[in-house]
């Protein structure tokens, strides 16, 4: 299992790197097919956000769905522990689903809300010219991150594979990445769709009036 640890706007010390690698060894017990684990460490320098100044994002890639978790705290080690707790719970859920394959979800599971930042979505602030919007990635896994003009907004784009799947599978993969929405291609209609969590324990599906050849 390959482990990649990198910092964004911060340095990652050898001590923290070794501590993280030791903690991540448990992943092999829950996901023996895991091929790569990516850990991104982010630091927020704004004093008003001191309680959440350290953010950890962990992504596990194997032959199944991508599983992801993130957390923030005032201390980097504390943020890591919080993120790992979420990650291990999602890995257990994925493992149990593989063992009990074919049993439909009950809808009782809670989807944790996603705290979006300007880095996570494509935002075109007022006053930013179209020519300043970065070009789109063309290779799977490729990321493009660009600051829009003189604004503080950073746009990060990443290209994912559009695998046809059922609504049930899309809801399942949405939970594994900890988002409250998930984009996919419907395996029956070949329409681009998005599932999302509504209030309470209900879900919605948005469909585009188009078909995708995959």
Which tokens hold the place of 8? 């964004």
The average confidence (pLDDT) of the chain is: 78
Residue with the larger pLDDT of the pair 14 and 146? 14
What's the CA gap between 208 and 193, in Å, rounded?
Answer: 6
Question: In the structure, what pLDDT confidence band is assigned to residue 101 with cuts at 50, 70 and 90?
Answer: low
Q: Residue 212: what pLDDT?
A: 62
Domain boundary at 49, 71, 99, which? 99
Q: Give me the mean pLDDT over the 116-132 stretch.
A: 45
- Where in the sequence is the domain holding 17, given as residue range(s)? 2-99
Q: Residue 121: what pLDDT?
A: 41
What's the CA gap between 25 and 203, in Å, rounded?
Answer: 34
CATH code of the domain covering residue 25: 3.30.160.100
Which tokens hold the place of 142? 């490729």
Examine residue 108 and state whether it is found in any structural domain, yes or no.
Answer: no
Q: Give me the mean pLDDT over the 82-109 stretch.
A: 73
Into how many domains does the chain fold? 2
DSSP assigned state of 109:
S
Q: Residue 87: what pLDDT?
A: 92
Examine residue 127 and state whether it is found in any structural domain, yes or no.
Answer: no
What's the CA gap between 122 and 87, in Å, rounded?
Answer: 26
Q: For the purposes of burial, counting CB atoms within 10 Å of the CB of 76, is it exposed (0-12), middle (13-18) or buried (19 or more)?
A: buried
What's the CA gap between 117 and 180, in Å, rounded?
Answer: 14
What's the CA gap between 181 and 179, in Å, rounded?
Answer: 5
Interacting residues of 113 by C-beta distance below 8 A, sequence separation 6+: 180, 197
pLDDT for 51-89, tens place per residue? 888 999 999 988 777 888 999 999 999 999 999 999 998
Place of tokens 């994925």: 94
Domain boundary at 99, 132, 165, which? 99
Examine residue 8 and state whether it is found in any structural domain, yes or no.
Answer: yes
- For residues 154 and 89, the answer to whether their CB atoms sit within 8 Å is no
pLDDT at 110 over 50: no
* % of the chain at pLDDT higher than 90: 26
pLDDT for 159-204, tens place per residue? 777 788 898 888 888 888 777 888 888 988 888 888 888 776 688 8
């Amino acid at each position: 299992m390959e482990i990649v640890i990198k910092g964004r706007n911060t340095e990652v010390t050898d001590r923290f790197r070794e501590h993280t690698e030791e903690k991540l060894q448990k992943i092999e017990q829950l996901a023996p097919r895991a091929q790569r684990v990516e850990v991104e460490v982010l630091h927020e320098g704004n004093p008003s956000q001191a309680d959440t100044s350290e953010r950890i994002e962990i992504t596990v890639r194997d032959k199944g769905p991508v599983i992801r978790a993130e957390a923030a705290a005032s201390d980097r080690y504390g943020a890591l522990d919080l993120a790992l707790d979420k990650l291990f719970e999602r890995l257990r859920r994925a493992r149990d689903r593989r063992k009990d394959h074919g049993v439909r979800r009950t809808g009782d599971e809670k989807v944790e809300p996603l705290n979006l930042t300007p880095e996570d979505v494509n935002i075109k602030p007022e006053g930013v010219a179209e020519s300043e919007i970065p070009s789109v990635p063309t290779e799977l896994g490729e990321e493009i991150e660009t600051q829009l003009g003189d604004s503080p907004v950073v746009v990060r784009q990443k290209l994912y594979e559009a695998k046809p799947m059922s609504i049930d599978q899309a809801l399942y993969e949405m939970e594994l990445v900890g988002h409250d929405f998930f984009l996919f291609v419907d395996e029956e209609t070949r329409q681009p769709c998005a599932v999302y969590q509504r209030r309470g324990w209900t879900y919605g599906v948005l469909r585009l009036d188009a078909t995708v050849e995959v």
